[in-house]
Amino acid sequence: MSFVESFEPKAVWRHFDEILAVPRASKDEEAIRRHVVAKADAAGLEHQVDKAGNVVIRKPGTAGHEDSPPTILQAHLDMVQEKNSDVDFDFATDAIKPVQDGEYLTADGTTLGSDNGIGVAASLAVMEADDLVHGPLEFLFTVDEETGLTGASELDESLLIGRRLINMDSEEEGALCVGCAGGADTELLLPIDTDAVPEGSTALALDLAGLKGGHSGVDIHLQRANAIRLLSRFLAKAARETELRLADFAGGSAHNAIPREARAVVVLPVADRPLFEATVTAEYEAARAEFASVDPGLSLSINDANAPAAAWSLESTARSLQLLDTLPHGVLGMSYDIPGLVETSTNLATVKSTGDELSIKLSTRSSVDSALEALRGRIHSAGLLAGATIIEEDGYPGWKPDMSSELLTVLKALSEDVYGHAPEVGAIHAGLECGIIGEKCPGMDMISFGPQIEFPHSPDERVKIDSVGRFWKLLVLTLEKLA
């Protein structure tokens, strides 16, 4: 345990402090699942686990409210595991190191996991509480949200009795979320031809780092730099002026995180080195000026590397860089209906060379189904032109707002009491499990709210400490009102 357990409300922060020491990678949630189930057993509550690994725990209503309609509290168990390259940390074994930075809690060089650890902690606090007023409760803990909403997609909906759900995976204090974008991922597998490295060549390693990254839905409108896009841009320019051959290219770490770092190894004639370095450096300086206000930490190093036995052919190098330079990234359209809401975007998320092919993954989002498919079609076309094999996932549905929602009516009134002003009601350009759960459970009344969490999916992730108290107060009042 750490200093975190001393924060108010202790009922929530104590659980979050414990969670900091529990591994909870997407697709590997066994440790955190055991932790949650152990809490249910200790409280004498029944639980069920479906085939996907989702957990449902039930708690009876308090005295006089046993027969009220059930309410579902929902949070996901996994977290995005990002760290700075210079940080020695193993998410599978090491406890996250919390750091207080003024009014915020962050972590030492890694993601904090407040997304969605605060939601999990709040659920556990309600589970254990004996001084709250509430009707029957169902606690739904889903798995693998961060890499494709898999837990929600494979949820055994027969485990849920309730038809009103509070999702605690929102990250803007004082806002009520009643809708979200749908999305889908695409992978392009580009074949690579290799040749022996010509005599008289030199090998160089390029490392681009220092970017802020962030959540590819929540932060995409900030127009931060994409490490893959920048490094491919630099190299594409150099490849037009030198006999550049790639030997390796890698960048990004998750489909829903804007890439913060990218690395390439190149070989080229010794005589071309001065021109290559001058060209790349000029492009880097131009990019540094372009992104100075949003990504001031952008850095690029060029160092000698061990000469590989083989490198990509000139044709494969050119084709790969041209494809990376062509693929879309960022905001592609704004909503006509909700001012300020991103409608359509894509994240050029990861790139990795594996033997004889280059894997490129993109994550596309939109609140309009036709726009989502049109953008995926554009990516498909670019892949075909380059000669790539294209793998398209089915994706997940959006969540259409219901402005007549009973939950919305209740939360609007209570939010004004808690925050002193009318809440902002809207949708977000990110995938929430509500879209899938609503499709699987017709008639489900849903809403999402949470504390102030900033820069999720990056080592800059932070949660505003006192916002957790207001979030908790709103949750407790809501449960009492619904009882």
| Enzyme catalytic residues | 78, 145
Nearest to 158 by CA among 447, 441, 436: 441
Task: Determine phi and psi for 218, rounding to 5 degrees.
Answer: -65, -35
**Amino acid letter at 483?**
A
ω into 9 cis (within 30 of 0): yes
Q: How far is CA 129 from the centre of its chain?
A: 31
Q: What angle do CA 376, 377, 382 make, to 5 degrees?
A: 100
**Amino acid letter at 196?**
A
Task: Determine phi and psi for 382, rounding to 5 degrees.
Answer: -60, -40
In DSSP terms, 105 is beta-bridged to 100, 463
CB of 181 closer than 8 Å to CB of 429: yes
Task: Specify the DSSP class assigned to residue 447.
Answer: E
Q: What sign for the dihedral angle of Cα 173, 18, 254, 91?
A: positive
**Amino acid letter at 374?**
A
Residue 320 corresponds to which tokens in the numbers above? 């790969």
240 vs 6, 227, 237, 243, 383, CA distance in Å?
A: 59, 20, 5, 8, 21
Nearest to 456 by CA among 194, 183, 119, 191: 119
In which residue are the tokens 């900030």 written?
Answer: 222
Task: Determine phi and psi for 476, rounding to 5 degrees.
Answer: -65, -45
In which residue are the tokens 């590819």 written?
Answer: 216
Decide: residue 4, CB within 10 A, 0-12 exposed, 13-18 middle, 19+ buried. Answer: middle
